[in-house]
Structure 1
């Protein structure tokens, strides 16, 4: 909200006077100023798990906060905003109250008053004492107003941005009703395995109530938390704010302290864009090099195909002859692939589309027999089998993707079926260089118990076959050099991936014809409907990684994550579906993520995720 212009030459209202200490104290619950209460709270915060945090009920004068709530509801406009890390209704641009004109007290007097007492020196000193955070700035104010409605959420992060020292959330849901746990919207706190690596599951949760404040010291690499999805048609209104390192001229100011803090402590976004997490990432972001003879086989096929087209004086974009695939290879491919995509005209059509757009969407990719079998099995698991929601309940061959400030989902990677149930499990697996072996993994399964997993692994064996990769090479005219395959399940109310770039495969950096790109495939096997609008998430989104060098760095970090799923930067937005294959040629300029799956989704999102490093092949490269 901005103060309406009063016309040229109008006098600017006088600056608001600083409230007297006694007046400030009178607007808080009087227990705040009791030394015994402060000492008890300090001890509770010190003993809290998974890190130092606390909360205070009935923080401020009830009438003041009710009036603040009314002002917000009548004077503040909220806009729904959605990125890979959050879905929330925000006030104004980034919901930053410092963007409002605080000289106009006529329309937001109670909100102004609340802001003043929350940043008053006498109250800041209490927060400083009980948290042990040191002196806090009163000059650098940093607040926002958010309302979480049904489906809104904020995923795992540690609040490390700029000079933040203490985070707080003051809750303003309906003051005359209790906010119940099953409504969602709770503040959840995550322990860390080591610095910058949170556990998959939270170990503490606060169910918010009116006039309750939660706060914690910002601890780089440890203060991980999220806001669970709101599951009901109710408004969870809150004021989010931060206390910063003292600024020049304030008590507690130390020259160079803020600069050193910012330099030393890495924001969540910077962590995700660095190599800090690689040792602790599961599944590993690695593509295994294909055997030399297999790559040479694909090179020869593509080179011969190129020669034939040159002799015919035909553009390379026109497709391979029907004789490129032998009858035996076609029979093998037809065990899984729909026949429409195995004919000469079918292959020609797919190849032309890919060469034009570097992207393919193939509906009904699996043949009717395989599609029907897999759908029956996956639906059975969705309806009849209990889905584990905690990492220590996940059973082989499934594992839980970690760390949760980058991604979280269930997956099968073809490696040994041990699970990451405890911190020690994870630490012991860090240096395991085991290569995936889906065939060996399948042999270890009890088929009667793991029928779905058995058939999914059989599908992956097919996709890893030399014949399928030959088919892939003909569709794209690209030679695969490596591969990575995962079977994934994204559970409602739990799972997602945040926006990330592809990493270069250093083992292939000197390969001639390497196009510095990865061919990605997603065979989506989601058995339910209702995903098309995007309201329940689960969609796969590709977007340009556009960096605005003029953007404020704090805002840049705060949005992380800032992904516009409706703007010009979006390249592909594919909702979950049944039996559709996406092929995308992707370089390092493109971000990709799977949006958090809402509790209201009718099923998990299931897929097989594939990646291949690829190169082009021509006469010169063949020589």
Structure 2
């Protein structure tokens, strides 16, 4: 997943290596690839393939050579497990990127060196260039890595657009002599695009890899989306991943300025997601509804009326008499009683003000907790969970695009099922505000008991009474809100690392906090999540980088950055039952929910909310546009 620095590339170019004769190179490949008819048939097959142009060749190279390569990798290379928001894979440490090696000091890897040489030889590159329609390919800018996918390993959706890449290839080396079966997982899955840069939620082509098989495709910005399916069994899916680049100066096919123009025009998957271009095609919308002004004033008055402690900590006392009887009764219908006493609220308030985060265990009272758990467990056991977007039925929807996130959600709006660009455009022309109360009335309670119960909690989180409680424990006044019910399916769902979306409509408000208050009520009924091995954890990490410019190329090459050392992790919360996690997050903090492994005993269920907030100021300085 890493890329060699320019300095390392120059060192590599300067190294003198004896080159094989073309006849020797040809002899180490399967003779069929030199057959003009085979090439033309393959070229036609690739040109007409779906969901985009890609191809595969079985028995690519000499069998003995590849078996020796596999033996060298097994005996001479140490693999280390590496995990980010987008992948979990075993990489070969310093050997992960073969272009960075000192090839004069690889006497223990002669077969691997030979394989690298023939894969980047001119005669073979010309074949790949011809059948893929990609144009001339560089033989000096080499880019290869060795990976082994073991049980639980995966790589999520991306399009391979980084730098000057022109063709992507994967040469598979699972155990020779044995067939890699579909139910092992680890397949290469290809995704069609609704429009450029917006892949469909479901793949439409899949390759089950076999020993000595290569898959390759022309890198097509915004269209060549693919992933590696999770490996489900205790077997090693070994592969060599590589790329062919645009020709460099002095090479055949070099065009001055071509690479610079390509890099300028085509952005990586990460850059696509960080831009505003795709916002129309992202669902659910990251849009927090601004609260009525009279509600915000009420929260201000509540906070100002609280008694203050005299110890200089900034912590207030709590006067529950400022809540109406109806407020307290409504809160008691949901929240555990020990959180609704003056002492309980002061304890929560102290923890949040000190750390800007808070974890409330046993948040819902026993009655709500037990009834919800019974319903969710029943759904897990008795109802078939839809794994294809076309099978998702109201009130659930599928989050998209899948190179940013994928999960089922309920947002209080009309049902949508996006299969075409027209579906998306029609939705944009009929924007509506969320209305969980209206949605609740439309559900058939006999078939949607669980959904109705979850919507009931979502309505509670949107209530004025709850936002009063929220204001007391955070000492912040809510200005806006968004509440989502989510279900993350095993072997399917995740969110990738993102920053907060600032609400520019509220920037003029006195006391406006340059951060978003996030709350997640986790309602996952199963156990076994604590080790992190099956994912599902909600992770917050520090994204500040003092050497941003120096590391820019490395970051981009890794596609997504997540913590794999533990140094930047701020919060790592595994799925649990009835735990409410509150975090005040600014732009320096990334957050994601890790891909849920197929080995998980259940889905991860939660209700998540976001609020823009402000500190309490004088009323006449808090004018807000109520439109």
Q: Report SS of the residue matched to 1:492.
A: coil
RMSD: 1.5
2:506 matches 1:505: no
The runs of 5 or more residues in structure 2 that have no matched partner are 1-13, 623-627
Q: Is the alpha carbon distance of 1:296 and 1:318 closer, same or farther for their aligned partners in structure 2, counting shifts above 3 Å? A: closer
How far the C-alpha of 1:14 sits from its partner, in A, is 8.7
1:461 alignment partner in structure 2: 459
Q: 1:344 aligns with which of 334, 342, 345?
A: 342
State whether residues 95 and 101 of structure 2, in contact with CA within 8 Å, keep that contact through their aligned partners in structure 1.
Answer: no
2:416 alignment partner in structure 1: 418
Choose 270-279 or 323-332, whichever is displaced more: 323-332
Please give the alpha-carbon distance, in whole angstroms, between the structure 1 residues aligned to 2:210 and 2:550: 36
2:305 matches 1:299: no
Residue correspondence of structure 1 range 237-386 to structure 2 within 5 A: 237-305=238-306, 308-309=307-308, 315-386=313-384
State whether residues 490 and 598 of structure 2, in contact with CA within 8 Å, keep that contact through their aligned partners in structure 1.
Answer: yes
Q: Report SS of the residue matched to 2:104.
A: coil
Q: Is the alpha carbon distance of 1:19 and 1:313 closer, same or farther for their aligned partners in structure 2, counting shifts above 3 Å? A: closer
2:600 alignment partner in structure 1: 601
How far the C-alpha of 1:566 sits from its partner, in A, is 4.5
Q: Report SS of the residue matched to 1:309.
A: coil
2:127 alignment partner in structure 1: 126
Q: Report SS of the residue matched to 1:503.
A: coil
1:428 alignment partner in structure 2: 426
Q: Report SS of the residue matched to 2:103.
A: coil
Query: TM (normalized to structure 2)?
Result: 0.95
Q: Report SS of the residue matched to 1:59.
A: coil
How far the C-alpha of 1:550 sits from its partner, in A, is 5.2
Please give the alpha-carbon distance, in whole angstroms, between the structure 2 residues aligned to 1:119 and 1:584: 50
Please give the alpha-carbon distance, in whole angstroms, between the structure 2 residues aligned to 1:140 and 1:177: 34
1:174 alignment partner in structure 2: 175
Q: Is the alpha carbon distance of 1:94 and 1:331 closer, same or farther for their aligned partners in structure 2, counting shifts above 3 Å? A: farther
Q: Is the alpha carbon distance of 1:386 and 1:183 closer, same or farther for their aligned partners in structure 2, counting shifts above 3 Å? A: same
How far the C-alpha of 1:419 sits from its partner, in A, is 2.8
Please give the alpha-carbon distance, in whole angstroms, between the structure 2 residues aligned to 1:421 and 1:441: 23
Please give the alpha-carbon distance, in whole angstroms, between the structure 1 residues aligned to 2:86 and 2:557: 10
Q: Report SS of the residue matched to 1:417.
A: coil
Please give the alpha-carbon distance, in whole angstroms, between the structure 2 residues aligned to 1:64 and 1:488: 49
Q: Is the alpha carbon distance of 1:543 and 1:94 closer, same or farther for their aligned partners in structure 2, counting shifts above 3 Å? A: farther
State whether residues 510 and 621 of structure 2, in contact with CA within 8 Å, keep that contact through their aligned partners in structure 1.
Answer: no
How far the C-alpha of 1:422 sits from its partner, in A, is 4.7
Deviations along 1:392-424, one digit per CA (max 9) or x if unpaired, are 000000000000000000000000123335553
How far the C-alpha of 1:238 sits from its partner, in A, is 0.1
Q: Report SS of the residue matched to 1:87.
A: strand
How far the C-alpha of 1:53 sits from its partner, in A, is 0.2
1:485 alignment partner in structure 2: 483
1:116 alignment partner in structure 2: 117
State whether residues 485 and 610 of structure 1, in contact with CA within 8 Å, keep that contact through their aligned partners in structure 2.
Answer: yes
Choose 508-517 or 552-561, whichever is displaced more: 552-561
Q: Report SS of the residue matched to 1:167.
A: strand
Please give the alpha-carbon distance, in whole angstroms, between the structure 1 residues aligned to 2:223 and 2:104: 38
State whether residues 308 and 315 of structure 2, in contact with CA within 8 Å, keep that contact through their aligned partners in structure 1.
Answer: no
State whether residues 171 and 241 of structure 2, in contact with CA within 8 Å, keep that contact through their aligned partners in structure 1.
Answer: yes
Q: Report SS of the residue matched to 2:243.
A: strand
Residue correspondence of structure 1 range 30-41 to structure 2 within 5 A: 30-41=31-42
Q: Report SS of the residue matched to 1:275.
A: coil
State whether residues 500 and 587 of structure 2, in contact with CA within 8 Å, keep that contact through their aligned partners in structure 1.
Answer: yes
Q: Is the alpha carbon distance of 1:203 and 1:380 closer, same or farther for their aligned partners in structure 2, counting shifts above 3 Å? A: same
How far the C-alpha of 1:173 sits from its partner, in A, is 0.1
How far the C-alpha of 1:299 sits from its partner, in A, is 1.4
Please give the alpha-carbon distance, in whole angstroms, between the structure 2 residues aligned to 1:93 and 1:562: 19
State whether residues 96 and 146 of structure 2, in contact with CA within 8 Å, keep that contact through their aligned partners in structure 1.
Answer: yes
Q: Report SS of the residue matched to 1:568.
A: coil
1:613 alignment partner in structure 2: 612
1:563 alignment partner in structure 2: 562
Please give the alpha-carbon distance, in whole angstroms, between the structure 2 residues aligned to 1:613 and 1:585: 10
Q: Report SS of the residue matched to 1:88.
A: strand
State whether residues 398 and 419 of structure 1, in contact with CA within 8 Å, keep that contact through their aligned partners in structure 2.
Answer: no
State whether residues 347 and 475 of structure 1, in contact with CA within 8 Å, keep that contact through their aligned partners in structure 2.
Answer: yes
Please give the alpha-carbon distance, in whole angstroms, between the structure 2 residues aligned to 1:442 and 1:493: 30
Query: TM (normalized to structure 1)?
Result: 0.95
How far the C-alpha of 1:559 sits from its partner, in A, is 1.9
Q: Is the alpha carbon distance of 1:551 and 1:63 closer, same or farther for their aligned partners in structure 2, counting shifts above 3 Å? A: farther
How far the C-alpha of 1:557 sits from its partner, in A, is 1.5
Q: Report SS of the residue matched to 1:355.
A: helix
1:530 alignment partner in structure 2: 528
1:10 alignment partner in structure 2: none
The runs of 5 or more residues in structure 1 that have no matched partner are 1-12
1:188 alignment partner in structure 2: 189
Please give the alpha-carbon distance, in whole angstroms, between the structure 2 residues aligned to 1:215 and 1:619: 63
How far the C-alpha of 1:435 sits from its partner, in A, is 0.3
How far the C-alpha of 1:315 sits from its partner, in A, is 4.2
Please give the alpha-carbon distance, in whole angstroms, between the structure 2 residues aligned to 1:142 and 1:418: 42
How far the C-alpha of 1:313 sits from its partner, in A, is 7.4
Please give the alpha-carbon distance, in whole angstroms, between the structure 1 residues aligned to 2:428 and 2:213: 41
Please give the alpha-carbon distance, in whole angstroms, between the structure 2 residues aligned to 1:563 and 1:138: 32
How far the C-alpha of 1:429 sits from its partner, in A, is 1.1
2:5 alignment partner in structure 1: none
